[in-house]
Amino acid sequence: MVNLFRRETEMLPAPIAGVELLLADLDGVVYKGDGAIPGAVEALNLAAQTTQIGYLTNNASRTDSQVAEHLNSLGLTVDPQNIVTSPQAAIGLLKKLVPQGAKILVVGGEGITYELEKHGYQWTRKAADNPDAVLQGFAPHVGWEHLAEASFALQERPGVPLIPWIATNTDWTIPVAGGIAPGNGTLVSAVHTAVQRLPEFAGKPEQPMYETAFDRFKTRSALMLGDRLDTDTRGAVAAGIPALHVLTGVDRPKQLIAASQDMQPTYIVESLADLHRPYPSTKIVRNGAHQVGDARVRMEGHIVEVLAEGSSEINLLRAACSAIYASGLAIYGLKVPEILVEDHWR
């Protein structure tokens, strides 16, 4: 049977069209566990022929060279200049707060100490050394003693000025081989509880990370590729650039349907191969339905109605997100059919 809806679908340019810079998250976008996500390396190598690519990582435990070496082992062609780490963004903040040569108490690993040394700072792990600031990031070895030293250095004392505190990122969790583990945001929260103050944050979704990338690649004509709405997409929205959400990582249809305005992606794709393919437009048709391909969804007050499931699960998800986002209603006030949160991409 001929599908008239599909044949009449208007296609927009591919997401990569007209973009000067791709900013790519790593875990869940490029790789998962020890291996590359199917199709990701090929799509990124093709993109690199015409477009600059910056790989953004909130994980502060590795240096840019170590990240580049890992990506090259997967089949990408990358050098350290392509890597933007949260410690690099943190150094940009640090320079505004304390002078070169200052002593920094470090919670974290080589990703932080390497950048400090490169930019002329001293570092210590002891509050007794009277540090001028604290820089905190994730590393697998971080434990109670490290968090306690940061707390000692950051405590308020009569007559003693508070020193700056910078955290590389706010990620509450980090995916590891055994499952989901506490991330840097959880560790920062422990110190916050002890000292009753908050740090300045550098990594996604905060803007220092994006500004570091824009400065390095000399353009703001960028597209963010991510799998997490609360870091990748939220950061892109705040930076004023479009975001492509790929369904190969953390956030699934349920999270996409529920995304608040500051976390709504421009594109939703099944894999990075879709970066190079024309993207289907969304039409507002009869009765206010949102149509993508032959899938149609509309809002009837607080009820989300599926008028046509269509022949493509991804287009149904796109149509549902478009209708819900346009309503401006919070997800907890909506009645959503189960079909819209089914995950066909695991």
Please name which of 54, 50, 55 lies closest in space to residue 16, comparing C-alpha atoms: 50
Q: Would you call 230 a catalytic residue per the annotation?
A: no
Q: Are 272 and 8 spatial neighbours (Cβ–Cβ below 8 Å)?
A: no
Q: Choose, from 27, 64, 171, 232, the residue flagged as catalytic.
A: 27
Please name which of 304, 234, 221, 300 lies closest in space to residue 265, comparing C-alpha atoms: 234
What sign for the dihedral angle of Cα 105, 109, 111, 113? positive
- Compute CA distances 84 → 163, 251, 292, 296, whole Å: 26, 22, 35, 40
Q: Choose, from 25, 64, 132, 274, the residue flagged as catalytic.
A: 25
As beta bridge partners, residue 11 has 280
Residue 143 burial by CB count (10 A; 0-12/13-18/19+): exposed, middle or buried?
A: exposed
Q: Give me 304's structure tokens.
A: 């989300």
* Whole-number Å distance between alpha carbons of 219 and 146: 38
Q: Are 40 and 271 spatial neighbours (Cβ–Cβ below 8 Å)?
A: yes
* Whole-number Å distance between alpha carbons of 147 and 163: 16
Q: Would you call 27 a catalytic residue per the annotation?
A: yes
Quick one: which H or E segment has residue 165? strand 165-167
What residues act catalytically? Answer: 25, 27
